[in-house]
């Protein structure tokens, strides 16, 4: 979809802090994160809803692979998964969390937004992607 920001990211027309890419899926850091390491995993082909993505299980296997990389690199206490969002392109949010991140924001479940500078995003992306090389 030409006007979809996620489709533009996949096409290389919009910048991102890429975490992972294969022939069907793409993952990158959210530039307006709720937590440090807030990652989005999307299908490369435009689908409106997560449940419309063919091979739903394969999609979640990619999410699990990225989860393992985040666990090793950022060492959170736990990771939350959410499939909400305002961008009309299927996406799964990964929120690395620990006891220092309170339950603020959306009904006490989703933490409020935080400020993370570009350099910090770059460093976080490098930490996570380094786990795919090991």
Q: Active-site residues: which are they?
A: 91
Q: How far apart are the first and last CA of the chain?
A: 35
Query: What is the dihedral sign for C-alpha 86, 82, 9, 114?
Result: positive
CA torsion through residues 89, 126, 20, 132, sign? negative
* Nearest C-alpha neighbor of 19 from the set 43, 39, 42, 45: 39
Note whether 67 and 79 are within 8 A (CB): yes
Q: Return the closest-CA partner of residue 114 out of 4, 62, 38, 47.
A: 38
């Amino acid at each position: 979809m030409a006007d979809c920001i996620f489709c533009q990211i996949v096409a290389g027309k919009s910048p991102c802090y890429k975490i992972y890419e294969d022939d069907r899926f793409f993952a990158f850091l959210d530039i307006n994160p709720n937590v440090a390491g807030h990652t989005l995993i999307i299908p490369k082909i435009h689908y409106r809803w997560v449940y419309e993505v063919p091979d739903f299980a394969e999609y979640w296997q990619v999410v699990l692979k990225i989860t393992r990389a985040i666990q090793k690199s950022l060492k959170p206490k736990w990771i939350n998964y959410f499939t909400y969002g305002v961008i009309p392109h299927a996406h799964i949010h990964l929120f690395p969390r620990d006891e220092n991140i309170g339950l603020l924001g959306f009904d006490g479940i989703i933490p409020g937004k935080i400020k993370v500078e570009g350099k910090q995003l770059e460093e976080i992306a490098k930490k996570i992607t380094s786990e795919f090389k090991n």
